[in-house]
Structure 1
Amino acid sequence: MPMKKKELSQEQREELFDILKARFEKNTNRHKGMDWAKIQAKLEANPEKLWSLNEMELTGGEPDVVDQDKETGDYIFYDCSTESPKGRRKVCYDREALESRKKHKPENSAIDMATVMGIKILTTEQYSELQKLGKFDMKTSSWVQTPENIRKLGGALFCDRRYETVFVYHNGADSYYGARGFRGSLRV
């Protein structure tokens, strides 16, 4: 399978910047005190990161800036779609889980998709931080990074929000559901 070129055309860049800027301006509670012009300049200097953001957008993630690392100056984007991104659902947790399925294999795994996209799956801590910015995954759920000791035993973690509470659950890493996907993060 040929590798995708990880660069956007000028037209794609402009279209993505329009989308990201509109989302940034609409959701100021997510990034108080941040300046869009500085974020765009950093994205323009990192075309591979812009490609990853475009992948997040194409799969329904609606990425937005949610923080800035005070030490490195990196801007941190999360998938901010109301529900788990549509283009990333019906996936098991990782490659090992995918290969362990004998019947009814899903098309992909969350970890593999995230790696190809150049993003990381949210941790449980990041997922909780995201939930402070709004109400997410009220009807869906999202895989989150799973500690190695749980994964070695065949399990994986996922989260959702129900009853005004964020829940962390476990499932077999090889399971997959139509309403479970994953949310990613990207540092720029």
Structure 2
Amino acid sequence: MSSTKKELSAEQWESLLNTLKARFEKYRNRHEGLDWADVQAKLEVSLSAGQVSAEKLWSLHEMERTGGEPDVIGQDTKTGEYIFYDCSAESPKGRRSVCYDRKALEARKENKPATSALDMAAEMGIDLLTEEDYRKLQQLGNFDMKTSSWIVTPDEIRKLGGALFCDFRYNMVFVYHNGADSYYAARAFRGSLRI
């Protein structure tokens, strides 16, 4: 369960750090040219830097807790921030069966899902992947070969009631549309976080 203060206990932090380190070492192709010691130092600075930074670590923990298996996929050369994406093989299990946004959730007359992708992402403090992000992720491995993931939808499409999602089939990324109020057991969303 998430804490209302959005802070991690010492045990949660230690467990998260060990998990992230093991994943970083296992999937070196995702972050060529980056060193774990530098990433860990940045995370530890965030831990002691104040509330906003501590909340980012809580967000990273939420990505892990909901099945996203976050990993470093790059570093912003201008800001120095490390970029984390959800790198679980399939769309995160703890975020499935959600419609696209609050408007879609409220529009459903019956059989409403518990929440929406945008609401859940906001609560977690992460951003949904864009189509560009999703394509970048797929260059690092094969993801969503059995599931699909909501992505950021352009306003023009959303205003007409639609929303976009992606998956990976036949060695290719496919971008599809659906009613924003739809939800499926095999569709969640992937997020990104900068620290």
Normalised TM-score (structure 2): 0.94
Which one of the candidate residues 62, 65, 69 is aligned to 1:55? 62
Provide the rounded CA distance (Å) in 1 between the counterparts of 2:27 and 2:141: 10
- Matched with 1:174 is 181
Work out the number of aligned pairs and report it: 187
C-alpha RMSD over aligned residues: 1.1
8 Å CA contact retained: 1:44, 1:50: no
- Matched with 1:165 is 172
Which one of the candidate residues 125, 129, 132 is aligned to 2:139? 132
Provide the rounded CA distance (Å) in 2 between the counterparts of 1:118 and 1:95: 16
**Amino acid paired to 1:71:** K
**Amino acid paired to 1:33:** G
- Matched with 1:116 is 123
Which one of the candidate residues 101, 106, 117 is aligned to 1:94? 101
Residue 149 of structure 2: SS of its match in structure 1? Answer: strand
- Larger mean CA deviation between 32-41 and 81-90 belongs to 32-41
Q: Which runs of 5+ in 2 are unaligned?
A: 47-53
Provide the rounded CA distance (Å) in 1 between the counterparts of 2:142 and 2:88: 10
- Tell me the CA shift for residue 3 of structure 1: 6.9
Q: Which runs of 5+ in 1 are unaligned?
A: none
- The answer to whether structure 1 residue 82 and structure 2 residue 93 are counterparts is no
- Matched with 1:31 is 31
Provide the rounded CA distance (Å) in 1 between the counterparts of 2:25 and 2:3: 34
Normalised TM-score (structure 1): 0.97
**Amino acid paired to 1:175:** S
Deviations 1:72-94 (A, max 9, x none): 11100000000000000000000
- Tell me the CA shift for residue 118 of structure 1: 0.4
Provide the rounded CA distance (Å) in 2 between the counterparts of 1:44 and 1:102: 46
Q: Percent identity?
A: 71
Provide the rounded CA distance (Å) in 2 between the counterparts of 1:122 and 1:113: 13
